[in-house]
């Protein structure tokens, strides 16, 4: 059985391994023992704290194969970004150059550095290890965050964003970064990426261009990747777009990858999830559901085909599922179909 639960300190070795496997560009998991240990401690505190309003909390989940005890993936939520450390983006917009005398009308795209997403919630740190990238595993790992947010909306902003990894060349370097490095920086991409991952973002304000940048003046290779995602990120983007997320012109400073957004209450999995009581009994032949309990520190989620609604609108689950979810007869759970849903 695959089980999702909050991360704990004993998971540190495998989290470090995941950070290594994720490679450059995955800034939310820096290969740094102190930062990863701090991330785990912060997550444990966030899950354990009774929160009435969103703040500087971070929630990190792990996907565990209960048959082996192996951690095979992770995903996370930041309750409110940009409060302690600024969150910068480029915003791509259009300006008009018009001369009535010359009868010239030109629309020109520009990039302007901003921190417009300060205070919003962010889904992040989604990584599934290679052997488990099959079936519904990735969908389960992504959607569980929306189940948790639907159950605990006070912990999160009304706006939710996701930063998508941008395009990289065959050497792993983003074409968008190359022009930045040429004109504004004297460090390589892995170094800049690592500094961001460990929270050292002061150099961004110091070295980034302070004025709008005309997109047409950039190298063609950089222009082509603005708002585009890495090949490996396309499935994740498609999943989020199906949830209702959309791109409004905000892109990453270094790789040009898009940031997508959606109102929390408009996320499809939030709208389509249901809270019901459970009945523990044998059950067969049901739809594939993602099911979570309603707890925080002891949050648990599974997906299974052995669950079904009865005529009393109770969710009938097997004793095995009840044990994994830490629930008994009459307890509440929240569930969501993992099958393709109608919009």
Tokens 């800034």 — which residue?
27
User: Any catalytic annotation for residue 230?
Assistant: yes
| Single residue among 245, 269, 293 that ends a domain in this structure | 269
Q: Do 177 and 217 fall within a single domain?
A: yes
Q: Do 142 and 82 fall within a single domain?
A: yes
Quick one: pLDDT at residue 30?
84
Under the banding of pLDDT at 50, 70 and 90, the label for residue 197 is low
Express each pLDDT in 181-192 by its tens digit: 877 777 777 777
SS (H, E, C) the chain: CEEEEECCHHHHHHHHHHHHHHCCCCCCCCCCHHHHHHHHHHHHHHHHCCCCCCCCCEEEEEEEECCCCEEEEEEEEECCCCCCCCCCEEEEEEEEEEECCCCEEEEEEEEEEECCCCCCEEEEEEEECHHHCCCCHHHHHHHHHHHHHHHCHHHCCCEEEEECCECCCCCCCCHHHHHHHHHCCCCCHHHHHHHHHCCCCHHHHHHCCCCCEEHHHCCHHHHHCCCCECHHHHHHHHHHHHHCCEEEEEECCCCCCEEEEEEHHHCHHHHHCEEEEEEECCCCCCCCEEEEECCCCCCCEEEECCEEECCCCCEEECHHHHHHHCCCCCCEEEEEECCCCCC
Q: Is the pLDDT of residue 342 over 50?
A: no
CATH number, domain of 325, equals 2.40.40.20
Which region holds residue 301: left if phi is over 0, alpha if psi is between -120 and 50, else beta?
beta
The residues near 8 (Cβ < 8 Å, ≥ 6 apart) are 40, 44
Express each pLDDT in 208-254 by its tens digit: 777 899 999 999 999 999 999 998 889 889 999 999 999 999 999 88
Quick one: pLDDT at residue 343?
39
Q: Do 12 and 39 fall within a single domain?
A: yes
Q: Do 253 and 280 fall within a single domain?
A: no
Express each pLDDT in 277-300 by its tens digit: 999 998 876 678 999 999 999 999
Is there a contact between 164 and 259 (Cβ–Cβ < 8 Å)?
Answer: yes
Q: Do 41 and 149 fall within a single domain?
A: yes
Q: Structural domain of residue 185, as residue ranges?
A: 2-89+115-269
Express each pLDDT in 47-68 by its tens digit: 999 987 788 999 999 999 999 9
Q: Catalytic pick from 91, 97, 152, 230? A: 230
Report the alpha-carbon distance of residue 181 to residue 321 in Å, rounded: 52
Q: Do 244 and 192 fall within a single domain?
A: yes
């Amino acid at each position: 059985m695959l089980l999702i639960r909050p991360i704990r300190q004993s998971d540190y070795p495998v989290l470090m391994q995941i950070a290594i496997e994720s490679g450059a560009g995955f800034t939310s998991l820096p290969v740094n023992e102190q930062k990863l240990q701090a991330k785990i401690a912060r997550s444990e505190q966030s899950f354990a704290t009774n929160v009435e309003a969103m703040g500087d909390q971070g929630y990190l989940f792990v996907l565990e194969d209960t048959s082996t005890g192996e951690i095979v993936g992770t995903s996370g939520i930041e309750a409110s970004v940009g409060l302690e450390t600024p969150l910068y983006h480029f915003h791509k917009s259009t300006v008009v150059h018009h001369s009535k005398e010359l009868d010239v009308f030109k629309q020109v795209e520009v990039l302007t550095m901003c921190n417009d997403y300060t205070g919003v919630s962010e889904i992040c740190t989604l990584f599934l290890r290679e052997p488990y990238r099959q079936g519904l595993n990735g969908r389960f790992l992504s959607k569980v965050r929306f189940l948790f947010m639907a159950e605990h909306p006070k912990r999160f902003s009304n706006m939710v964003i996701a930063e998508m990894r941008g395009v990289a060349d065959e050497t792993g370097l983003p074409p968008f970064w190359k022009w930045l490095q040429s004109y504004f920086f004297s460090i390589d991409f892995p170094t800049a990426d690592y500094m961001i991952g460990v929270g050292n973002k002061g150099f961004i304000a110091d070295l980034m261009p302070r004025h709008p940048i005309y997109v047409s003046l950039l190298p063609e290779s950089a222009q082509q990747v603005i708002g585009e995602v890495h090949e490996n990120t396309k499935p994740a983007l498609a999943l989020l777009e199906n949830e209702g997320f959309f791109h409004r012109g905000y892109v990453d400073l270094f790789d040009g990858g898009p940031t997508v957004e959606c109102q929390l209450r408009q996320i499809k999995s939030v709208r389509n999830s249901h809270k019901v009581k459970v009945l523990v009994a044998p059950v067969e032949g049901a739809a594939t559901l993602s099911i979570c309990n309603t707890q925080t520190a002891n949050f648990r989620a599974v997906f299974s085909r052995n669950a079904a609604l009865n005529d009393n609108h109770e969710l009938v689950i097997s004793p095995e599922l009840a044990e994994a979810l830490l629930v008994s007869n009459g307890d509440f759970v929240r569930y969501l179909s993992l099958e393709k849903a109608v919009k």
